[in-house]
Chains A and B, each alone.
Chain A
Amino acid sequence: MNLAKLKSGETGKITAIGAIGPLKRRLMDMGILIGEVIRVVKVAPLGDPIEVKIKNYSLSLRKKEAEGIAVEVMG
């Protein structure tokens, strides 16, 4: 399961970050770390990007970027 597949309102726990290099570092700098709880808040009107809530703030990222973030659905 990855973050891009979560529906709005669903919450997951990050289990792995597949990205490498600058993208991985950027994700980590924004608080996307293994073990962190992440919730999908919204999908943009045109279907991409998505809005997530992490570390108590709102972040948006493209689905392609979210695909590399493996999550475990928490319901």
Chain B
Amino acid sequence: MNWQTNLKETVSEEGGRGVLRPVEKRTVTIAVAGNPNSGKSTLINAIAGMRLQVGNWAGVTVEKKEAQFESQGRKIRLVDLPGTYSLSPYTQEEIIARDYLVHERPDLIVNVVDATNLERNLYLTVQLMELGIPVVMALNIYDEAEAKGYRIDIRGIEETLGITVIPTSATRKTGLEELLRGIVETADNPAWRVPRHINYGEDVETAAEMVAGAVHDRHPGLAAKFPGRWLALKLMEGDRHVREETGLGEHDIPGEALHHLRRAHGEDVEAVMADVRYSLAAGLTREVLERPELRKAELTEKIDRVVLNRFLGIPIFLAAMWIMFKLTFDLSKPYADWIGDMIAGPFKHWAASLVKFVHGPDWTVSLVTDGIIAGVGNVLVFVPVIFAMMFFITFLEGSGYMARAAFVMDRAMHAIGLHGKSFIPMLLGFGCNVPAIYATRTLENPRDKALTALLIPLMSCGARLPVYVVFIGAFFPTHAGTVLWSLYVMGIVLAIFMGIIFKRTLFRGEAPMFIMELPPYRMPSLRSLTIHTWEKGKHFLIKAGTYILAVSVLVWFLLNLPWGVENKKDSYLGKVGQASAPILGPLGFGKWEAGSSLIAGLIAKEIVVGTMGEIYVKKGEEKKKEAPSFTDDLKEVGSSFVKATKASFANVFATAGITSISTAEDSDKAAERAPLKEVLKTQFTPLAAYAFIVFVLLYMPCVIASVAMVQEFGTWKWYGIAFAYQMVLAWGMAALVYQGGRLLGLGG
């Protein structure tokens, strides 16, 4: 498709009026490539803003961002490639980026380059230029480079490389208009905007020509599919990904092509090529960059002297984590509670009235309110915490502290086969496993990511706490603290244990490398943070929301059918509970009530308590309240939101402890649970009670965490493994507690 011919047609049609107006709406596809930490995301956010769509690259867990918009009368489709340092065949990100560039052939590449780190960034530029696709360089973070006293000869880069270079600052939003103009101009004139063929030295060039010639003669099909010079260079490097894809190997390379190169430069052609490309990047940098002679200690170095200090490093890290944890969960909890109350209150009333208004039978009222509306509630209550988590994780990443956190914690985490960055998702797990699983996206390597997600469910989340509290209140009131701690510690010890087992079985082999840049500290822009948080939160709502809703409705069916059962024992849930009783027997709680509660607890583990309450304590005691009027409900929505906001702020400033994890039960709830505790004492022995809470700690992740795991990894594999090992572990540990305890004479 030729843009210029179309323009001509346009001109001839409208020539009479003498206006040259490009009415052609060809979509210009732009791939944005650049190093991690080059400010690429911020730049894209600044250009595309809310038009960004976040998804995943097909089949992998790497995030894909895309946007479509119009600029200067053109439709522009922007595709953000994963941040990479190179286009090697070894990491997921790099393979995605190069596959896209080679096979989708975008109209042009916008190469985002960090002006403060020119040489390493140009190394990628040189590789991008091998593809023969027009390149526009966004020389980003230009303001910072200027502030440092760097002087960059922009014309020099343009002339040497034959590409358009536009200085930009994504955070200050400067150069964005110019960049868009440069993009459109380049897209309009692709023929004379193809980057200059850079000479890699006589030895490499001769060899490349020979290889390209041989491929062209022997495999014309491949020559048409791949950029010739690029394919030749990759074959010379022995690029395994290209070799697999093309089926070409050593025998397709003319022997004499590499012979001279190897003799002159060494056996390892891959190393020779890296050297050649870096020499070009270094040479160009020397030519165009003028740095002040005297270098003062930079802010980043000063901060790191404290933050990574041998003695202060860990305390500072722990303090930072404590603040993040507190902000994530305490800030969001009042809003989650508010959403929960609104769904359970006003929305249910309104929905019920509506169904009754259309004369729906009783069971439809229940299906709509207890099934669908409650299901929607199950999704919505997670919104505040997911948004809060995404916000803080994005902040940690954008500011540069995430890399430091990994640096400080890597030694400890590596011991159980994890990566330094695994610490944060694991920690979030104590609040709620769901955001914790989403937080694993901060890990780049698929192996690190999967292993971290597998261990997160062993971190005792906030929803398990109400179960512990009721049982501890009933059976161990005098040793409450010790018993509670034993559960948290058990989870951590088992995570270490399982980590070591997984490392030696499922994930045998070389641990992924750690090699990681410690980027300069930068203040992420609020706009960028908000857009990022919003995009990811929206993704959760749409993707996970549907599944969670479906499962909630399914559980409603289990709980309420056959419709009108008097005794819970006769509902489907009760029947499943009865069937599970023999399996739970050796654990000391082989009763249908326990089994049914555990199954209901899959929605969220705290529901175990609610279900037990419903089963054990007579329903008649429930007070029938007068249904509030519509306007009362409406007032309630508003006033309680204000209350939630106040509570959110109060949580952050007033308390030193973490409110979302606290053993203290408010007196209302304690009084409410008193009858249940009495019944429990007649149904469980203390030993069986402890075995039960151990089981609650360890058994399969709740539905929402499961959905998170399946959705985040795009496969059922890891969830399947988590499910299986946790069930075995839960049963085994509870049996060990109960049977071991009996042997020790702790009572049956």
Which residues of A approach B to under 8 Å, CB–CB? 17, 21-31, 33-34, 42-49, 51, 55-62, 65
Contact = CB atoms under 8 A, between A and B. Distances in A.
Closest 8 CB pairs of A and B: A46-B411, A29-B86, A45-B313, A28-B274, A58-B518, A22-B90, A62-B514, A48-B411
B309 interface: yes
Contacts of A45: 308-311, 313-314, 408
Contact of B411 (A25, A33, A44, A61): A44
Interface string B370-414: 000000000000000000000000000000000100111011101
B304 A49 contact: no
A31 to B, nearest CB: 6
Interface stretch (B24-32, B103-111, B115-123, B253-261): B115-123
B515 interface: yes
Interface in B56-100: 85-86, 88, 90-91
A30 B271 CA distance: 12
Given A45-B313, A47-B411, A61-B516, 17 more contacts: A17-B271, A22-B88, A26-B91, A29-B274, A31-B278, A33-B275, A42-B308, A43-B310, A46-B410, A49-B514, A51-B308, A57-B517, A58-B517, A60-B406, A61-B515, A62-B514, A65-B513
A49 B411 CA distance: 7
Contacts of B341: none
B519 to A, nearest CB: 8
B270 interface: yes
Contact of A44 (B90, B117, B313, B515): B313
19 contacts: A22-B90, A22-B513, A23-B513, A25-B274, A26-B515, A30-B120, A33-B274, A33-B278, A44-B308, A44-B408, A45-B308, A45-B310, A45-B311, A46-B412, A48-B410, A55-B120, A58-B518, A60-B514, A65-B515
A75 to B, nearest CB: 19
Majority-rule SS of B interface residues: helix
Nearest to A51: B518
A65 B300 CA distance: 25
A21 B91 CA distance: 12
Contacts of A61: 513-516
A13 to B, nearest CB: 15
B408 A56 contact: no
Contacts of B300: 58
B513 A56 contact: no
B91 to A, nearest CB: 8
Nearest to A44: B407
A3 B414 CA distance: 20
Contacts of A24: 270-271
Majority-rule SS of A interface residues: mixed
Contacts of B411: 44, 46-49
A23 B407 CA distance: 19
A26 B123 contact: no
A66 to B, nearest CB: 10
A51 to B, nearest CB: 6
Given A23-B513, A25-B90, A59-B516, A31 B120 contact: yes
Contacts of B308: 42, 44-45, 51
A45 B304 CA distance: 12
A58 B407 CA distance: 12
Contacts of B410: 44, 46, 48-49, 62
A67 to B, nearest CB: 13
A16 to B, nearest CB: 11
Contacts of B270: 24-25, 28
Contacts of B403: 60
Nearest to B94: A29
B34 to A, nearest CB: 14
Contacts of A65: 513-515
A61 B515 CA distance: 5
Contact of A26 (B119, B420, B513): B513
Given A42-B308, A49-B407, A31 B515 contact: no
Name the residue in B300, B308, B408, B412 with the highest tally of chain A Cβ atoms < 10 Å from its Cβ: B308
Contacts of B120: 30-31, 55, 57
A16 B91 CA distance: 24
Given A22-B513, A49-B514, A31 B412 contact: no
Contacts of B275: 28, 33-34
A34 to B, nearest CB: 8
A28 B275 CA distance: 8
Contacts of A28: 270-271, 274-275, 278
Interface in B620-636: none
A22 B91 CA distance: 9
Contacts of B119: 31, 55-56
A25 B123 CA distance: 13
A27 B119 CA distance: 15
A67 B274 CA distance: 21
Contacts of A48: 410-411, 414
Given A31-B278, A44-B308, A57-B517, A51 B90 contact: no
Contacts of A59: 515-518
A51 B90 CA distance: 23
Given A29-B85, A31-B123, A55-B119, A60 B278 contact: no
Nearest to A8: B310
Nearest to B282: A55
A52 B311 CA distance: 19
Nearest to A22: B90
B90 A26 contact: yes
Given A25-B270, A45-B408, A60 B516 contact: yes
Contacts of B304: 42, 51
Interface in B333-389: none
B98 to A, nearest CB: 13
A8 to B, nearest CB: 9
